[in-house]
Structure 1
């Protein structure tokens, strides 16, 4: 059986791919979204800046994460 990253959400389970898991792994309450994008660009060859905010926005809509305006 393959190990998979999952995110338990209200009334659902979301199966994460490696990139999604990497993004969530960097969400520590200290980094900004821009800092997360910069960190991922250091790890992966191709990170499009809007992909991370779009991913996080979809998770916010599902009540999986909260973004702060700070």
Structure 2
């Protein structure tokens, strides 16, 4: 019997560097819900209602900004934006295939 599983689980977090440039995957769209009065992430399986921090990060995930630039921009808006937390958040969305990365 082959010990290799038939299905593979996706990693919970992808490795993200400061030079990566995240952007929404083709099947994902950042939008605003008037009903919920919040930013939402639309993808084929569901709608994700974002908190303020998640929305602020995703608004900058346009394929032009590097992760380091996103952290810097958020640092000018808010105090104390930990780069590692932004990288983990982006990494989780990459692992779910909601964001894609291109090299800086």
CA shift at 1:29, angstroms? 1.1
Is the contact between residue 9 and residue 62 of structure 1 (CA under 8 Å) also seen in structure 2?
Answer: no
Q: 1:30-54 CA deviation, whole Å, 9 max, x = no partner?
A: 1100000000001001211101111
Q: Structure 1 unaligned runs (5+)?
A: none
Tell me the C-alpha RMSD between the 2 structures: 1.3
Q: Aligned pair 1:3/2:37, yes or no?
A: yes
Structure with a larger share of its residues in strand: 2
Distance 1:4 1:20 in 2: 11
Which structure dedicates a bigger proportion of its chain to helix?
A: 1
Bigger Rg, which one: 2
Find the partner of 1:47 among 66, 69, 81. 81
Q: How many residues align?
A: 70
Normalised to the residue count of structure 1, the TM-score between the two structures is 0.88
Q: 4+ residue runs of structure 1 moved beyond 4 angstroms?
A: none
Q: What TM-score does the superposition give when structure 2 sets the normalisation length?
A: 0.62
Alignment partner of 1:19 is 2:53: yes
Between 1 and 2, higher relative CO (CA 8 Å, sep ≥ 6) is seen in 2
